Amino acid sequence: MPDRLFSRGPLSGRTLTVASSADIVLHPGEVILTFDDGPRAGRTDAILDILDRYDFKASFLMLGRAADAHPELVRAVAAHGHTIGSHSYDHADLSKLTSQAALDDVVRGERAISRALAGSGATLSPFFRFPYLAQTGFLRTNMAQNDMVMLDVNIDSKDYYSETPDQVIARTLQRLEVRGSGIILFHDIHARTVALLPDFLTQLGERGYSVVRLVPRDPGVFGRDVITAEAPVPACCD
């Protein structure tokens, strides 16, 4: 693992402004904390309270259907200063859909989140994560050409496994120690994640890590059709 200075202190690190996935370059000892699949009542709000106590900002990759169900939580995440990106509408495996159906689902998800944010003063960022991390070269290229920023995963906490909080924490930290930095994936829909997060963050700070705030170089995608549903897709790429 690369050398880094170990010091106890606030978890809040620098702000990283990016325009493409290539801009996401972390120093040793830096992490980006991300939460997928929300928002969910009783989970996302509890996680927001925890993050406030540890005084740093995370990135939430939201599902359109969840934003439609809980627009007040979408606005709450924004009000707490966290970055909001998208994660499709239905959490389908986009690599198994036709290219056009996949793009339609991406657009539908962004529109739902943007509706929830309307009037709040906050905007949807262009950050996107593929459900199940399943993608095709066509989808990734098409979306990047339309100014979306694909947010990959370096360390999957697998907080969806039926394990104890301590097991999830130990595995996540072990993988992080091997890499020395990285983008960490959690989900703000599980009670297990709410339970483990304070201990995980405490240990993260004790090991000298800092959490990087991820923000887009452009202000957001609100009011912009990133990918038009009517765009023709070559038959060879379905």
Backbone torsion region of residue 223, taken as left when φ is above 0, otherwise alpha when ψ lies between -120 and 50, otherwise beta: left
DSSP annotation of 150 reads: E
More confident residue, 172 or 230: 172
Q: Which residues pair with 70 in a beta bridge?
A: none
pLDDT digits (tens, 9 = 90+) for 180-206: 999 999 999 999 999 999 999 999 999
Percent pLDDT > 90 in the chain is 87
pLDDT tens digit sequence for 69-120 = 999 999 999 999 999 999 999 999 999 999 999 999 999 999 999 999 999 9
Q: How far apart are the first and last CA of the chain?
A: 42
Mean pLDDT for the stretch of residues 35-46 = 98
Q: What is the pLDDT of residue 127?
A: 97
Q: What pTM was computed for the model?
A: 0.90
pLDDT over 50 at 235, yes or no: no
- Does residue 221 surpass a pLDDT of 50? yes
Task: Give the pLDDT score at 10.
Answer: 74
Mean residue pLDDT across the chain = 90
Q: Considering only residues 13 and 10, tell me which one the structure prediction assigns the higher pLDDT.
A: 13
